[in-house]
Structure 1
Amino acid sequence: MTWLVTGGAGYIGSHVVHALLEADIDPVVIDDLSSGVESFVPERVPFVRGTLLDGALVEQTLRDHDVEGVIHLAGFKYAGVSVQRPLHTYTQNITATVTLLQAMETVGVDKIVFSSSAATYGTPDVDMVTEDTPTSPESPYGETKLVGEWLLRDAARAQDLRHTSLRYFNVVGSGSPDLFDTSPHNLFPIVFDMLYRGETPRINGDDYPTPDGTCVRDYLHVSDLALAHVEAARVLAAGGSLEPVYNLGSGEGVSVRQIMDAIREVTGIHFEPEVRERRAGDPARIVANGDKAGRDLGWQMRHTLRDMVESAWQARKAAGDRYPG
């Protein structure tokens, strides 16, 4: 069977592609390379350079490769920047998803795994997020991810569409030194690049009501995340039933201080992070419960914090000047 991976040249998407190959599922990739890297796509995987806004191209790709289902990761993912670029965010994340679903309906592709986000929850008033926690996104990015879930839900009411959406927080690490996080807004790339420039990484607030005073969040290894997407595709392909939404969470979380300590230990670069004032709106702790995903998708944290840091550091060193900094 063949599955289309939208955004398959990106950091997460490329890991999903590799996981599909390891599961003996044939992937095909469509990506406009706005943030993806073509070399992230293995040579033996068909690659279509283009935007999901081009409905004819998407439809032709589905037909040419006899696609059975779609893992939809493409989108504009920068929550902070989305506040300054709401129209762009909605176009890339909502209009493109509508176009994709229209093409799928036309061709008869009836299975989709949607890469959603924990940004749909906004700043919840609980320290352990479940799928029943009310959604209240606080950025255009979070809003578009929630609307994307609604689109799948409503399309499934009107046509034969089997789907699930995966929500998650911070994705880190690398499954291969050739694949690295290309985002200039994520914690690991920011800290690694500051260390390379001889600058001191920063912690925003150390007086939170947490064990070490710094914010606690869910950090997931990208390879674990990729496996969950592939397992969701396999269940849908086999005719199994899935919940409309799953959280991929650790259930425990890691503090910013713990991350800094692990980075110092792994890199061998001695530094003491500079502590700055709290950022407005940063909750002390947000961690997701992943029990439902564990039950239905075999979700589990297979990598330790050290694994996450060490693999990301190796990929950063291998990337050299290609690293976003």
Structure 2
Amino acid sequence: MRVLITGGAGYIGSTVASACLDAGIDPVILDSLVTGRREFAEGRTFYEGDISDGPLIDKIFAENPDIEAVIHCAALIVVPDSVADPIGYYRANVAKSLEFVDHLLRNGRTRMIFSSSASIYRTGDDFTVTEESPLDPQSPYARTKAVCEGMFADVAAGKPIRILSLRYFNPIGADPKMRTGLQLRRPSHALGKMIEAYEERVPFQVTGTDYPTSDGTGIRDYIHVWDLATAHVAALRRFDELGADVINLGTGAGTTVRELAEAFNRVVDRPIELVEAPARPGDVAGAYTRSDRARQLLNWQAQYSIEEGISHSLEWATLRDSRLASD
């Protein structure tokens, strides 16, 4: 099997590509390198360009006619950035995705897996969600994902294409073989900030401490990025037989920021100090999945623990600058 992965030189897309290779699936990478890294595409069939570039998409399929499915990971994903630049986020995530699906239809491609987000959910009192939970995205980034899902549903209802949305919870870790990891030296999510605090020997800022959670800090479902990647392989294998168009990908366990910091301190040799700070623009209390749909339909469930995800993130942080030659 051969698959096209948009955003395949980014953190998640490159890890999905590695999981595909390990499973005997040949990935073809399309990435604009706006946030992706050329190093992550080395040794793989790679096209540099934009998902909205029709002639390029036509060329990819003409040169790789055996592509059987598409995994659409290309997107801008930083919540505070989306608050500051909503036009840029809607253009990159929605308008270009619409153009991309049009190019797929023109080339007769009928299978697409879409990288969606659990940030589109309205959370219940217990912070758990299922695929049937109501949607209530709270940031421009999250709304672009919700808009895309609705847009794709409309397209699939009237055109010969099937689109499966995989709603990601919060990826951590790196490829266990250390082929790829977070490309950013200073990522903005909680674990990235913990690693930064650890390296610089400064306190870690807990942003938001008055949420209605057990300890007042945000709650997330932290899933190892390799578990996330293997779920895509399972979805590719079972695509035609799936009886759903939306599947949550998470561990099924909620972890607060304070609990994540406690797990971090169990892994490192020198604990980080915590200080309280205001919530960031666009941040929400969070959620975790209680659905077993992924297990039932994909025969998949997360295998790695939070501590293993933290350990792999720390290992990648020590290797990043030597693997990524230039910034």
TM-score in terms of structure 2 length: 0.91
Structure 1 residue 182: Cα displacement: 2.8
How far 1:227 sits from its partner (Å)? 0.9
- 2:224 maps to 1:221: yes
Query: Given residue 188 of structure 1, which amino acid in structure 2 is its aligned partner?
Result: L
| 1:129 Cα deviation from its structure 2 partner | 0.6
**Residues 274 and 164 of structure 1, relative CA distance in 2, 3 Å threshold:** same
Identify the residue that residue 159 of structure 2 maps to in structure 1: 159
Q: Could you tell me whether the CA contact under 8 Å between 2:5 and 2:70 is conserved in 1?
A: yes
Query: Does structure 2 retain, via aligned residues, the 8 Å contact 1:4–1:28?
Result: yes
2:146: which partner in 1? 146
Q: Distance in 2 between matches of 1:268 and 1:15?
A: 28
User: Which secondary structure does the structure 2 equivalent of 1:274 belong to?
Assistant: strand
Matched with 1:303 is 304
In 1, the alpha carbon distance for the partners of 2:276 and 2:325 equals: 26
Equivalent in the alignment of 1:261: 262
The answer to whether the Cα contact below 8 Å between 1:189 and 1:324 also exists between their aligned partners in 2 is: no
- In structure 2, the residue matched to 1:314 is 315
Question: Is the 8 Å Cα contact of residues 202 and 272 (structure 2) preserved in structure 1?
Answer: no
Shift of 1:41: 2.1
Contact 2:119–2:286 under 8 Å retained in 1: no
CA contact (8 A) 1:182 1:324 kept: no
**Structure 1 residues 122 and 281: CA distance shift in structure 2, 3 A:** farther
Q: What is the alpha-carbon distance in structure 2 between the residues aligned to residue 323 and residue 38 of structure 1?
A: 10
5+ residue gaps, structure 1: none
Q: State the Cα deviation string for residues 269-315 of structure 1 (Å, max 9, x = none).
A: 23221133556876555211231111111231200111010011000
Cα deviation per residue 1:44-76 (whole Å; 9 max; x = unaligned)? x20000011211101211221122110000011
Taking structure 1 as reference, are residues 277 and 141 closer, same or farther at Cα in structure 2, changes over 3 Å only? closer
The one-letter code sitting in structure 2 at the alignment partner of 1:216 is I
Say whether the 8 Å CA contact 2:80–2:281 is kept in structure 1: no
Task: Tell me if structure 1 keeps the 8 A contact 2:83–2:282.
Answer: no
3-state DSSP of counterpart to 2:201: coil
Note the residue ranges of structure 2 that are not aligned, 5 or more in a row: none
Tell me the residue number matched to 2:74.
74
Cα deviation code 1:145-194 (max 9, x no counterpart): 11211222112122211221011221100113342223522222222122
Partner residue, 2:174: 174
The offset of 1:34, in angstroms, is 0.8
The aligned counterpart of 1:63 is 62
2:277 matched residue in structure 1: 276
Counterpart for residue 136 of structure 1: 136
> Matches of 2:73 and 2:282 in 1, distance apart?
27
Q: TM-score, normalised by structure 1?
A: 0.91
Between the aligned partners of 1:122 and 1:74, the Cα distance in structure 2 is 24
Among 168, 184, 204, which residue is 1:201 paired with?
204
Displacement, 1:135?
0.7
Describe the SS at the equivalent of 2:92.
Answer: helix
The CA distance in 2 between the partners of 1:30 and 1:177, in whole Å, is 21
Partner secondary structure for residue 167 of structure 1 = strand
Q: 1:63 to 1:129 in 2, by over 3 A?
A: same
CA distance in 1, matches of 2:144, 2:283: 21
Shift in CA distance, 278/33, structure 1 to aligned 2, threshold 3 Å = closer
User: Displacement of 1:249 after TM fit?
Assistant: 2.3
Query: Pairwise CA RMSD of aligned residues?
Result: 2.3
Q: Is contact 2:129–2:291 with CA below 8 Å preserved after alignment?
A: no
Is contact 1:221-1:303 (8 Å) kept?
Answer: yes
Distance (whole Å) between structure 1 residues aligned to residue 279 and residue 101 of structure 2: 41
CA deviation vs aligned residue, 1:8-41 (integer Å, no higher than 9, x gap): 0000001100111111111100001111111112
2:287 is aligned to 286
CA distance in 1, matches of 2:321, 2:124: 38
Query: Once the two structures are aligned, what percentage of the paired residues are identical?
Result: 34
Question: 196-205 or 286-295, which moves further after superposition?
Answer: 196-205
Cα offset for 1:319?
A: 1.0
Letter in 1 for 2:206: I
User: Alpha-carbon deviation of 1:254?
Assistant: 1.3
Write the letter of the residue equivalent to 1:193.
E
